[in-house]
């Protein structure tokens, strides 16, 4: 039985004008663009320099926000070597489970540092342990290595739940953009293996396909809404090493059989090149009988949750997701 889906979830007709940005989100985009303009374009410098620029531009938005009762970092084993995780324990843990949050960044950029505020917001608002993972990024690790590392991290967390302090039957997994893609890829793996440690998925403005010939890419991909077609091509060039990887259903999720997946919460940005991907995935999950909740947030752009310090709509999206998590604990 699927959950009610917001009525505005409908693909926009080809050639439709871009939707207007929420004023507070427009200010977020303006500030982010102004900061980024101080540096070279990330694809024109080395990968290391590009990552350093991305961290600097994102740093003001990752700062501030809720204080945690305790934050622990450790390294965990995977088939590809050790990875850093960050565990946030909120003051007043109200949910028995944990949320593994997988950061976005086109599989190339960002880290638990750029997404630290997002993780702390979920931890504080839901009263849940939140774990972030620094999977190995492309091009050092091409598909499917980051996916395999996330799979191994889920296995490790489930096995060490008692030590960390959460119920392993209540392990939620989520992420934004590339992190949402990795989240669903993990769920597909465990479904096919006949054991599903993931209780439910949080999918924030996720890239569900490798098809860049989408109307929403044309409408919102020029760069003035944040994520650009240019950057998406650069991400794929670094992450997908072989032509067949573009069609692999673990990456091109709109080509996957999604029957039997855990329930899902989809946070959809209206002014996002990935908008059409999300609309198509909602229809696909519904047709497969997957329990889901989805909402389009008007006037929002890719990465809008990072604007939580200045944008009411970002706060609304956090609270909506937290209510959904609590309903399914």
Read off the pLDDT of residues 212-240 as tens digits, 9 standing for 90 and up: 999 999 999 999 999 999 999 999 999 99
pLDDT at 6 over 80: no
272 is catalytic: yes
Q: CB–CB of 177/109 below 8 Å?
A: no
Read off the pLDDT of each residue in 138-146 and give the average, rounded to a whole number. 99
Active site (annotated) includes residue 115: no
pLDDT at 2 over 50: no
Task: Classify domain 23-327 at the CATH topology level.
Answer: Rossmann fold (3.40.50)
Query: What is the rounded average pLDDT for all residues in the chain?
Result: 96
Q: Residue 303, preceding bond cis, omega within 30 degrees?
A: no
Tell me if residue 160 is catalytic. no
Taking a C-beta distance cutoff of 8 angstroms, is the pair 323, 317 a contact?
A: no
Find the mean pLDDT for residues 275-290: 98
Position 9 scores a pLDDT of 64
pLDDT of residue 1: 36
pLDDT for residue 111 is more than 50:
yes
The CA distance from 315 to 97, in Å, is 22
Over the stretch 43-72, which tens digit does the pLDDT of each residue have? Answer: 899 999 999 999 999 999 999 999 999 999
51 is written with which tokens?
């990552």
The residues, ordered by sequence, that sit 6+ positions from 46 with a Cβ below 8 Å of its Cβ are none
Residue 16: pLDDT band with limits 50, 70, 90: confident
C-alpha 133 chain-centroid distance: 12
Percent of the chain scoring above 70 in pLDDT: 95
- Work out the average pLDDT over 99-128: 99
Rounded Cα gap, residues 267 and 318, in angstroms: 9
Active-site residue identified among 177, 216, 278, 303: 177
pLDDT at 30: 98
Least confident segment among 22-31, 40-49, 109-118: 40-49
Task: Give the Cα-Cα-Cα angle 105, 106, 108 (nearest 5 degrees).
Answer: 80
Domain ranges for the chain: 23-327
pLDDT at 300: 99
Please pick, among 116, 134, 176, 272, the residue that the annotation labels catalytic: 272
Question: CA gyration radius for the chain?
Answer: 18
Residue from 309, 298, 302, 245 nearest 274 by CA: 302
129 pLDDT higher than 70 = yes
Q: Alpha-carbon distance 103 to 174, whole Å? A: 9
Residue 78 makes CB contacts below 8 A (sequence gap 6+) with 148, 149, 152, 153, 156
Residue among 89, 124, 189, 302 flagged as catalytic: 302
Q: What percent of the chain has pLDDT over 90?
A: 94
Least confident of 6-15, 25-34, 66-75, 105-114: 6-15
Mean pLDDT, to the nearest integer, of 301-326? Answer: 99
């Amino acid at each position: 039985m699927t959950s009610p889906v917001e009525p505005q979830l409908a693909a926009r007709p080809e050639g439709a004008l871009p939707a207007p940005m929420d004023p507070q989100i427009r200010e977020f985009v303006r500030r982010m663009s102004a900061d980024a303009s101080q540096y070279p374009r990330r694809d024109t410098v080395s990968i290391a320099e590009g990552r350093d620029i991305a961290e600097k531009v994102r740093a003001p938005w990752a700062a501030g926000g809720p204080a945690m009762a305790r934050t622990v970092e450790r390294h965990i084993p995977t088939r590809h070597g050790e990875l850093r995780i960050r565990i946030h324990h909120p003051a007043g843990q109200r949910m028995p489970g944990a949320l593994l949050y997988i950061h976005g960044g086109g599989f190339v950029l960002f880290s638990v540092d750029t997404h630290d505020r997002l993780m702390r917001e979920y931890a504080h608002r839901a009263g849940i342990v939140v774990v972030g993972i620094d999977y190995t990024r492309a091009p050092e690790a091409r598909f499917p290595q980051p996916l395999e590392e996330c799979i191994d991290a889920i296995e490790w967390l489930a096995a060490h739940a008692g030590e960390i302090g959460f119920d392993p039957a209540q392990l939620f997994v989520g992420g934004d953009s590339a992190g949402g893609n990795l989240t669903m890829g993990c769920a597909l793996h465990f479904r096919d293996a006949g054991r599903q440690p993931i209780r439910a998925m949080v999918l924030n403005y996720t890239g569900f396909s490798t098809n860049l010939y989408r109307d929403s890419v044309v409408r919102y991909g020029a760069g003035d809404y944040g994520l650009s077609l240019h950057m998406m091509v650069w991400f794929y060039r670094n992450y997908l090493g072989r032509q067949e990887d573009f069609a692999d259903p673990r990456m091109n999720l709109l080509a996957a059989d999604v029957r039997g997946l855990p329930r899902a919460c989809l946070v959809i940005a209206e002014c996002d090149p990935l908008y059409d991907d999300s609309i198509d995935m909602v229809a696909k999950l519904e047709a497969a009988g997957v329990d889901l909740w989805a909402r389009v947030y008007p006037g929002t752009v890719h990465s809008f949750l990072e604007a939580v310090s200045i944008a009411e709509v970002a706060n609304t999206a956090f609270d909506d997701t937290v209510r959904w998590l609590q309903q399914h604990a």
